[in-house]
Every structure is written in structure tokens, then in C-alpha cells.
Structure 1
Amino acid sequence: MVNTDRHGKKLRKDTSNGRKIVDEAEESNHLPITRRSVLQGAAALGPVAGIASIDEFSRPAAATSDNREPVSIASPDESIEATVELGPSTDLNDDLPSGQIASLTVDYDETTVIEPSPLGITTYMGQFVTSLSLENQHVETVTQEYETIGGDESGPQTLHARIGLLTFGSPNGVMQLELAVSNEGVAYRYHLPGEGHVLVDKEVSAFQIPEGSTAWLHEFANNYEGLWEEKDVESAGGNFAFPCLFEVDDETYTLVTEANVNGSYCASHLAAYAPPENGESEPRPGIKDDQDEIVPGNEEFDYDENSTLFELRFAGTYGLPQVVDTTLPLATPWRVAIVGDLPTVVESDLVAALSDPSEVEDTSWIKPGIVNWSWWSDGDSPRDFETQKEYVDYAAEQGWEYTLVDRGWRREWMPDLVEYANERDVGIIAWMVWYDLDTETKRERLLSQLKSWGVSGIKIDYMNADRQDRMQWYDDILEATAKHELLVNFHGSTLPKGRRRTWPHLLTSEAVRGAESYGWEEMPPSHNLILPYTRNVVGPMDYTPVTLSSRYEDAERAAETTRGHELALSVVFQSDLQHLADSVESYRSYPVAEQFLSEVAAVWDETIFIDGYPGEEITVARCDGTQWFIGHISAGDRHTTKIPLSFLPDDQQYNIIISSDTPSTSSLHSRTQVSTADATISVSVPENGGFVAQLSPRD
């Protein structure tokens, strides 16, 4: 529908068909790999394996290269350039030992967004960090078609990128670096060829952020429910969960995260050195450590005292980092940097594009939708059969697809509730705790029972770990639920890392401090205004929005954002199962909101970022069939926002219903107008307010 964005740029989505590959040749010059092991199970390694495929990418050809020269790969539109260079370690960081080390630099439109950053991986059969030599390189251009269910743009997608495979030799054998450069950003991962058992103790992967950058970060926790805050990059310091957003120049951003994490590896996060405060001579407690030593016990390899270097950290237990126990050939998860302006970041689908293709052949049973939920307003209500019937009745009345029955439901009445709901075209989603599904026997017994009752999906809670064994559990439960055709919502979960492409019935994940925290944790309005630029970029987000009432009589949080702000979260926040958290009574008492919520969608054909800035405001437009929905939220003073409608098709009039706060902010009102693509709508927004608009084509 739309050919240009608000800056007049061509849309970044490539709609060409088929697959185009250039530079075809034979692989050659494979390096021998040494036989080395310090632990049981290590095997003799064979010749270099081909590139691990992204769907049907062909194996690359190798060509000799002068390894003293940097290798630069540009995106198809040439706006992004990634450069890998071998050089003396002292050029990269004074704390590294002498020797050749590889680094990655990323530039966007002549602005360096990632300064030279170390690359490498260490295993118990040897380290692949120093003493590297570039033996082979190959670059090809690939256009790949794939499809997703849900998200900002549901349906056919295209990844158009240049893919490089760089083969490095070292005294310990071969490491390959796969580098993908698309119009949305840069990603890389390591390949260790061969066969047999291998233990990976760390990566020295890191992102050197330019000084003077602004960062939006939240402290790492296994449930990813930290409070998002804006920080100066030099003084941030700490352990930070993915994704991390950095503004390195005016209208130039990079969002750092990871993709395609599965049971062969653990999940990761970032850590940055915290410089001393208030004239102290030591760094702040709990930040300086030796986790980034290439060889355990060798302090020379420690480069913690660089406050703008964000280093990769493996998941751990009780403060001890994970050792990844896996097999060869190994392809690690992708380390990803989405690069560009804010529209590029907000609209990006790069995390899904880099992940494994779907394992589900028949997806006809996977149906996203709106869900109502009684637990937020009454924590005891899931125990009561009659209350759940009331929520089913209201979902049917509103045209919503599902009712979620949370913790406390009873086996004796659940089959009757499912039958009652299905008669009204409402599906039931049932809460479960993860350890009731932690073995194949438990999964088969419980999932078979739920399916026999007619349950549509499950909400699984309390995983709260990023270790490799928990990543394997995610793979196992998604395979089992796909077999039984049950939708999945993960709570107390890891961050989305692209699994929704591989397992499209995974419709949402929590991994956010959302509405369930209202009343007992700090929830400044600015937190909501950072999420669309960070957490929601990497996958559907189960914030459980649109709470128009206060959960507790003494909860101050409910007064910080207006009803208009809360209503707009149904558009601004994307979740393929959009759980609307307030009570039936609350929604009935706000008829303007009730009417809008009966029309709004959960998944979208197209999403356009219109305007905004992290922590301050955002306006997005989302398309559902022939209708458009606009959501605007802000954190800060009263203002008037003007929204150009240039994203609409030309020569078409639209009926527009704008729903916003009344002057007192105690209720909502609506107004209507008729407009076309050359018009602008103007709305007065109160402090910490917001509004929605529904645009329907006139006959």
C-alpha cells in the first residue's frame, strides 16, 4: 500500500520473488584441524563443513585473500557496511595479549555505529581468538522468501542480504565467521566444523559503542522484567538484558540482540564496566569480574575497564557462567545489530528472518486473537467456574477469540467450561507451570488431556532461566504443543529470539515488566515509551494492556497514565495473543473503550512508524484488511500532536473515529471526521496521555 516512509525513503521491505545468488565457485583450501581435547567425548575433527544454511542458502565458494586487508560487505542498498579486520590486539584494546585478533566495525551512511569490536570463541579444545589468519572468504547476495504468522506484518516476508563466510586458521584449527548484512542491519555467528563433542566456555563477542551515545537499557534478570531507563553510554555500567538500544548520532540507532537460540546453546546478555562514582578509586560492586578472560586464569586477557564496550555474557547459575555442552558441527546463535533510523528499528523483522524455518507444515489451526483475562482484576477468580463463564460470555459479546483461565482452575469443571466456550465460538487458554511439563511423559499425558477437552492453547509460567537446558526445554515443549495443536504463551520467560518463525504457534511471550506489576513495582510512563523501540521489536510482547481501573485502591500507578494512554496500548503494543487485562465491569463503564476494543485487531497486515522518540512519545499506524488503526502514547507534558495521513491510499476517503481523554482525564470521548491521504489529524494529548483512531474506507 505504501511506497515511501515519512522521510520520503523507499520502504525497506524487498518484495522480489525467488532467490538470487552470485559468485558461484568450488570450495577449496580447507585447513586441517588439530586433535585436541581436555574433556571426555571430544572427537577428531574433520574437514571444514559448509556454511550452516539459512533455509536454502547455498554453500559458499572460497577464494584466496590477502589476510592483511580488511573484508568489507555492504548491504544491498549500500547504506550499511560491515568490516572485519585482523590486526594487532593492542590496536583494539590495551588489555588484550599480543597477537592477531579479528574485529568488526559497522558504518551506516558514513556514521560509525559500532566501533572495532572483538570477535572470537573459546572452547576446551582451544581458543579461536588470537593468532588468527584469514585463509578464505566468500560473499554472495541472497533473496529469501519466508512467511510468518502474526507480528507487525503477518504473511509473506523477504530477507535480502549479502552473506559473507570468512574462514580463519589458527594453531587450534579452523573457525568460520558468517556475516549477514541486510538493509536492516548486521548479524554474525561462528561455525566450528567437524563432528563429535565440544564444550564452549565463552565468546569474546562484544559491541564497542561510540562515546557520547545515548542508551536505553534494563538490568538483566532471567525473567526480563527489568525497568527500562535512558542512560549515558559511558556511565551505564552493569549487566543488561537484550535488546539494547543506542542512539549514536541524530536519527542513527543500533539495537543489539541475539537470534536463533536453541537447545544446542544457551541464551546470553551484555555486560559493561561501571566506572567509579563520586571520586572513588574502585568500580561499583558486582560489575568488575574476569568472565571475559580468553584463557581462564590469565588476567592479561581481562579488558573489563572499558565502559563503552558491551561484552557478551553466557547465561549462568548462582553467578557462574554456563559452559555450553554441544556437538560439532556447531553454528552459534546470531549476534544481531539492527541499524538505521527509528522507522527501521521499530518495523524490523530481522530477528525472525535469521531464525530457522517453520517446523509446522499445517498452520491452519494457528489463530491469533484478542483474549480477556480475569486474574489481573481478581487474583482468586480463576478458581470460580461461574466467573469464568461470565468472561466467556463477554468475550463472545465483544467478538474476542479467547478467554484465558489463569492459575487456580479446577480439573473438575474445566471440560464443561471449554464446551460452554466453544459453543460461543470462544477458545480457552489454560495456565500451567513449566515443571509440570518438564519430561516427555508429563507432556504427553497433560497435553493429550487438554486437547481431549478441546482447550485451544496454554500459558506456561515460571521458566525464569536462560541456561542451555532450559533452551532445550523450550524446543521440546514447542514440538510437543505443535503435535497436539495447542497455542503457546510463555510467561516468566526468556526474551523472544526468533522461535516464532520456527514454531509459529508460539504467539506471544512476556519477558517484560507489564501491567501485572501495577501497584507493587515502579512503572513510570517513560517505561511504556521505551518498549516499542526495544522489547517489542524482537517479538510479540504480552504486556497485558488496557487497564482502565486501578487494581488496588491505594495504587498510585494508575493515575500516572491516562485512560487514553492505556487504551492506545492495544495498538502501540503488539502481541499475537493480546490479553486485555481489566475486568468486565471496568470495560462496560468505559463505552468508548469498549466499542474500540471490539474492533481492534491482534495481528496486522502492515505497520508504519509515524513519529516519536524513545521514552517520550510514539505514534504508529497498523493495517487490518481495509481498516487502519492509529495509536499514540506519550510520557511528559500536555501537547498537541499532528499526524499526517500520507500512509493512506490516494483517492480514498476514510471515516475516522478518534477516541481520546476528556479534559479531566477521568473518562474518554470520541469524535468523527472524514479525511483523505493529504490531510492531517490533530489531537490534544494531556500529560502522560494518549489516543487511538480507527480509519475505515467510505463506500
Structure 2
Amino acid sequence: MKHLLLVLGLFLGLMGYAQEILSPNKKIKVVVEMQPAGQKGLGQACFKVLYKSNGTYVEALPASPLGIVRADQEFVSNLKLVEEGKPVAVHDKYEMLIGKRRLCEDFGTEKTFSYQNSSKQPLNITFRVYNDGIAFRYAFPNHSDSSLSITDEATGYIIPQGTSRWMQSYDKSYEKFYVLNTGSSEEKKAGEWAFPALYKVNDHPIWVLISEADITRQNCAARLSYKQGTNLYKVTYPSATKNWNGGAVSSLPWKSPWHVMMVGALADLVESTLVTDVSEPATFTDTKWIEPGSVAWVYWANNHGSKDYQKVVEYIDLAAKMKWPYVLIDWEWDVMSNGGTVKDAVNYARKKGIKALLWYNSGTDWLDPTPADRLLTHEKREKEFSWLNDIGVSGIKVDFFGGDQQEMMKYYMDILEDAAKHKLLVNFHGATIPRGWARTYPNLMSTEAVYGAEWYNNAGILTDMAASHNTTLPFTRNIVGPMDYTPVTFSNSQHEHKTSFAHELALAVVFESGLQHFADRPSAYYGLADAPRKFLMAFPTTWDETKLIDGYPGQMVVIARRKGKLWYVAGLNGKDILQTLNLSLSFLGNSDYSFQIFKDGEDAKSVTSETTIVKKTDILHIQCPPRGGFAGVISEK
């Protein structure tokens, strides 16, 4: 009888249980619970996230559903908890070659919950609660050599109506704006939304950024879908196409990517390395050949400039004069003429001390600029990459990927692995957002996945949207990984700039990318005054530390990044009115420092420079005209 009561008590406890997992600093709490379903003894797992603000836990995410679906059976409302693991401390240290911080260290608490569905098939859900957010993933732990299809998830995030959110409607190249809405209009419209998704917890200084990380060959990449009137943004897999499967196909055991939520103040999100924290360590250790740096880029001002040898030479000379280590030769280099071939251009660059990067079409059938279809198979890549080694090319830019299907994820990783064997840097364009691969494959220098400056070539929308857009990206897209926006353009391409020269100069600091492609024509950089030109000449593209000083999405941002003993600081005005940006210098040490600052001059096309003495107790109030900005370098005296 006692045994029966014990079993009954355990059963009732598991059905009604709510288990808490705390971050090491006790600021973040995850509650995992079961909601009963129609079948006796079975239910659906849910989770909610709380954040301690002013001594009280505030609900950062209301109770939201968990669950996953395979083609052969589901693991959603038919779950029974069979075991709750013990909390395990997570502590990791690693070094990044690019990103917002060189030396990374994380602390977390991990717990695994083991379930069975009505067919007694196992599902594990592992949670990690870090000091700056949470991550969770699904796993089918049993073994099977036959392939199974993972078709969908019940995972969702409930974001109540009226919550301020910044989300990008889904596009396979992730080139849309992060539009602020409160749900009043957008929630009347069903649709798909891309990662990352940012929202502010109503009436509290708490922010949440949702994304995913650590995608492997077992996975596709997901997105969020919204159903009218539900407040629920559900994790959704890409659909099948004529060439690729939808969802994921794998033998068992199988693990999903990590579902990631960064939680805290805006500075916690901007400074977080959670996406790489949960990603696999580097697949190779010989990284001495990997050198991030600044790049002169021929495309922006010329569109088809790379097929003109003389134009390419101009940009090689620009890189040499600006002391930038790289030149990117973009599409149509395979038909280069007017005095030389691509081999001639690479040889010329080498003589100038400049390393060449070459553009490739990934081989998709929806856009056809050349060279196309040279990377689609391992055999083709081996042939092409060996030729690049022979002629002295240092890296590749691969463009026009076709979606987030599992086959595309494999293709990205195949390119990265084969390129690493040939000591080639990689930059992905027309691509999915970063999901932690910069840690796993250290030769990945940057990814586009952003509505960047190249759009001045294509449409007039950025002319009026740029300032607001540029002050939203540091809180959304650029948080999850390096972003090849192709910034710092002073002249006009096909469409007009309205951001000021100081705003453009500041983008070099505000936007993080292992390869920073400076996109303007040579005359624009030669025409700068000595001080801002020298600022760009000595500009680093990797950072030891990053600090958000102030900001609000779409309005303004002030950020500081350290390289060695130098601090680079910058601010952007995202509004069409004058704003005062506040630069607190509390991140400095106790010495006196010299601060060379570049600000807007008498008009939007002039930059002033001055040097002052500052210390950590100072707060500078910098007036920025509409769509203006500032940048500068702080060095110890």
C-alpha cells in the first residue's frame, strides 16, 4: 500500500510539477512545467522565463509550448516526464579570432528532462540557463540506422499584444528591415518572421533577443511563424522545394540546434556571446594563417567593375594607399578584360602587398552572374580551391544561397571545411544569419544577411531609412554574429545618402565584421581630411572587448570596442532631428587618456577633428545633427 501511494504521489507530482532552473548569478529563472492533455497521464511540456529586476522576478516570457514532431510520431501533447536530471554547472573558456570579444567565458546551469510519448519513445529536452540568457534543445537519444524525418516543432514564444518588438519579415537572404511594432497592426497579419527577433518586456527595462545556434548537418535552419490572434510565434522549418527536403532527415541519435534567448538589459544583449557559447568548438586548430582585416571593394560604385582590369587596379592601389590588407574582386572577374585577366590582377595585388579575395556564385538557379557552379560539389571545390592556391588568392565571397533547408546547411559547412583545408577565408552573402559557425569554423570571417549599403545600388528606400536602420542593427542582426554591411560610404551610388559623413565614419566601429569591406570609390577616401583618413587606415576589424554605452533601437546607439590598449568609440543618431548622445567613459581605467574625436562639421559632408584629455569619471555630451554621428580613438597618456 505504501509503495502504491508512493508511485501515485510521484505520478501526480510529475503531472503538476514546475521545476526551476537558475542562472549562476540568480538573475534568470526558467520554469519548466507540464500542462495536462486529454489523455490520462500525458501532457505538453511548457517553459517560462523570469528575470530579476529591482529585486523582483518579472515574467520575461509567459508560459510557452515545447514539443517536436517526426513523420512517424509526435512528441507534443502526448508526453510523460520519466526523469529529471540533476543540475550541472556549465563553464567554458575559448578564444575567438573575430567577434565582439577575443577571450570568451561563460557560466551556466544545465538540466535535462527526459520524456516518453504515448508510444514510449524517448525525447530529451536540455535547458541551459546562463547569466545573459537561456538555451534549450531537443534530442532523440535512442539509436536507429534508418533515416527519420523531423518535420515540425510545437516550440513557440508567446509575446503579448502591445509588446514593443523589432522583427524582420522572413526572406531567404535576410535582407529586410527590422520594423518596430507593438502587435496592433502586425498581429492582424499572419506571416513568417526571421531570426533574430527582439522585444522589450512591457513597462520593464528588460529585453529579449530570440535566435538559434549550433546548426549541424543534422539540421535545417528555422524561422518564426505567426498565426492570427494567437500572440504565439512558433518555430517553423522550411518547406520542401523541388530540389531540397523540408525539415530535417537524420538517423538517430539526433539533436536540434540550440534555441537561444538572450535576456537582460540592452547592454547584456549587445555584449552577449551566447550564440558562440553554445556552438561547437573549432574543428581545426591551425589558425595562424587566418588574418581578418579591412578590404577595398570594387562593386559598390561600379556594379560591374570587376570585369574591368583597370577599375580593379584602382581598388588595389586604394588598398595599398590606405594600408588595408585586402581587395575583393567581385562578380564577373572570369570575363575580366581591358588590359588584364584575373591572374594579372592578383599578381598586381601581390606586388603591392595586397591579398586578393574572389567572388563566387554558389550555383543557385535563381540568379546567374558568373562565375557560377564552381563550388557545388567537393570535386569542383577541390579543383577551384587548388587553382586559387596556385594563383595566390586568400579567400572567397560566396553569394546567392537559396534558403534554409538542411541541404543548404550542409553546403555551407562543406564550403567552410574544404576552404579551410586550402587556407581560404570565407565570406557568405545572400545567406542565412550567423548561427555560431564563426566559432566552429574560424575561417568564416563574415556573413551578409542584412539590408546593407549595397542597396543604395538597387532602390531608393535606404536613403530615408538608413539612419533608423543603422541604429536598429546593433540591437538585432549584429548581436548574433559578424555582419558584412559594406559600410563607410561617403559619395552616392545609384541612390542618395542622407546620413552624414561622421555617421558613415562611425559605422566602422558600430558594425562588427571580421572582414570590413569599405565600399566607396577611391576618390571618396582620398578626399577625406588627413585625420579621418588616417583613422580608417589604422582601423582594426577584430576586438578584445565590446561595451554598449547607450542606445535604443531605431533612435541612437553609442558603443565602445577595445583593441589592445586602444578604445574605439562611436555613436549614431538614428533620428531626423538633433540629438545629444551621451558618452560615459566609466569603462576606462584610472589614468588620464587622450581622446581624438571626429564629429559632424558645418554640414553633413564635413567632419571636424579635435583631441581632448578625458578620464573615467567623464560623461561627454555630444550633439549630433539629424542622421549624424561621431567616432574616435581613446589612448592612455
**1:641, distance to aligned residue in structure 2 (A):** 2.2
2:511 to 573, 589, 595: 573
2:156 to 206, 209, 220: 206
1:111 to 34, 58, 63: 58
Q: How is 1:52-451 mapped onto 2 (pairs within 5 angstroms)?
A: 66-89=14-37, 100-109=43-52, 110-138=57-85, 139-154=87-102, 156-172=103-119, 173-193=121-141, 194-196=143-145, 197-237=147-187, 238-249=191-202, 250-274=204-228, 305-306=229-230, 308-317=231-240, 322-410=246-334, 413-435=341-363, 436-451=374-389
Task: Identify unmatched segments of 5+ residues in structure 1.
Answer: 1-63, 91-95, 275-304
Aligned partners of 1:595 and 1:641: how far apart in 2?
24
**1:644, distance to aligned residue in structure 2 (A):** 1.8
2:4 alignment counterpart: none
Aligned partners of 1:344 and 1:407: how far apart in 2?
39
The one-letter code sitting in structure 2 at the alignment partner of 1:121 is I
Contact in 1 for aligned 2:15/2:35 (Cα 8 Å): no
| Residues 1:648 and 2:591 are matched in the alignment | no
**1:67, distance to aligned residue in structure 2 (A):** 4.7
The one-letter code sitting in structure 1 at the alignment partner of 2:219 is Y
Per mean C-alpha deviation after superposition, the further-off stretch among 118-127 and 675-684 is 675-684
1:693 is paired with a residue of what secondary structure?
strand
2:627 alignment counterpart: 688
Contact in 2 for aligned 1:536/1:573 (Cα 8 Å): yes
Aligned partners of 2:453 and 2:41: how far apart in 1?
51
Aligned partners of 1:85 and 1:136: how far apart in 2?
13
1:87 is paired with a residue of what secondary structure?
strand
Deviation by residue 1:219-272 (Cα, 9 ceiling, x = unmatched): 100000011210013542421100000001332011000111122111110011
Deviation by residue 1:529-553 (Cα, 9 ceiling, x = unmatched): 110000000000000001111102x
Contact in 2 for aligned 1:113/1:209 (Cα 8 Å): no
By percentage of residues, which structure has more helix?
A: 2
1:593 is paired with a residue of what secondary structure?
helix
Q: How is 1:433-582 mapped onto 2 (pairs within 5 angstroms)?
A: 433-435=361-363, 436-519=374-457, 520-523=459-462, 524=465, 525-552=467-494, 555-556=495-496, 558-559=497-498, 561-582=499-520
| Residues 1:630 and 2:560 are matched in the alignment | no
Aligned partners of 2:182 and 2:74: how far apart in 1?
34
Aligned partners of 1:497 and 1:679: how far apart in 2?
38
Contact in 2 for aligned 1:210/1:248 (Cα 8 Å): no
Contact in 2 for aligned 1:113/1:210 (Cα 8 Å): no
Identity %: 35
Per mean C-alpha deviation after superposition, the further-off stretch among 626-635 and 584-593 is 584-593
**1:66, distance to aligned residue in structure 2 (A):** 4.0
Per mean C-alpha deviation after superposition, the further-off stretch among 315-324 and 471-480 is 315-324
Aligned partners of 2:636 and 2:351: how far apart in 1?
33
Deviation by residue 1:569-617 (Cα, 9 ceiling, x = unmatched): 0000000000010011011112243222112211111100000101100
Aligned partners of 1:323 and 1:602: how far apart in 2?
36
Aligned partners of 2:137 and 2:551: how far apart in 1?
32
Aligned CA-pair RMSD: 2.0
**1:521, distance to aligned residue in structure 2 (A):** 4.6
Aligned partners of 1:66 and 1:311: how far apart in 2?
26
Aligned partners of 2:514 and 2:41: how far apart in 1?
50
Deviation by residue 1:617-662 (Cα, 9 ceiling, x = unmatched): 0000011111111110011111222312111111x22221111111
**1:317, distance to aligned residue in structure 2 (A):** 4.5
Contact in 1 for aligned 2:491/2:524 (Cα 8 Å): yes
1:261 is paired with a residue of what secondary structure?
coil
Contact in 2 for aligned 1:162/1:181 (Cα 8 Å): yes
The one-letter code sitting in structure 2 at the alignment partner of 1:108 is Y
Aligned partners of 1:676 and 1:102: how far apart in 2?
52
Aligned partners of 2:479 and 2:423: how far apart in 1?
27
Contact in 2 for aligned 1:434/1:461 (Cα 8 Å): yes
Aligned partners of 2:502 and 2:569: how far apart in 1?
12
Change (3 A) 1:432 1:66: same
Aligned partners of 2:14 and 2:485: how far apart in 1?
51
Aligned partners of 2:295 and 2:287: how far apart in 1?
20
Deviation by residue 1:483-525 (Cα, 9 ceiling, x = unmatched): 1010000000011000111101001000000000015152202
The one-letter code sitting in structure 2 at the alignment partner of 1:431 is W
Aligned partners of 2:224 and 2:580: how far apart in 1?
38
Per mean C-alpha deviation after superposition, the further-off stretch among 635-644 and 567-576 is 635-644
Task: Identify unmatched segments of 5+ residues in structure 2.
Answer: 1-11, 364-373
Deviation by residue 1:182-212 (Cα, 9 ceiling, x = unmatched): 0011111101022222111111111112343
Aligned partners of 1:564 and 1:273: how far apart in 2?
43
Give the TM-score taking structure 1 as reference length: 0.82
The one-letter code sitting in structure 2 at the alignment partner of 1:531 is L
Change (3 A) 1:633 1:696: same
1:617 alignment counterpart: 556
Deviation by residue 1:404-444 (Cα, 9 ceiling, x = unmatched): 00012147722332232223332110001112201111111
**1:390, distance to aligned residue in structure 2 (A):** 2.3
Give the TM-score taking structure 2 as reference length: 0.90
Contact in 1 for aligned 2:573/2:579 (Cα 8 Å): no
The one-letter code sitting in structure 1 at the alignment partner of 2:601 is T
Aligned partners of 1:627 and 1:479: how far apart in 2?
34
2:579 alignment counterpart: 639
1:337 is paired with a residue of what secondary structure?
strand
The one-letter code sitting in structure 1 at the alignment partner of 2:461 is E
Aligned partners of 2:610 and 2:95: how far apart in 1?
38
Contact in 1 for aligned 2:247/2:405 (Cα 8 Å): no
The one-letter code sitting in structure 2 at the alignment partner of 1:434 is S
**1:564, distance to aligned residue in structure 2 (A):** 1.2
Aligned partners of 2:210 and 2:40: how far apart in 1?
27
1:9 alignment counterpart: none
Contact in 1 for aligned 2:178/2:469 (Cα 8 Å): yes
The one-letter code sitting in structure 2 at the alignment partner of 1:571 is V
1:46 alignment counterpart: none
Aligned partners of 2:70 and 2:305: how far apart in 1?
51
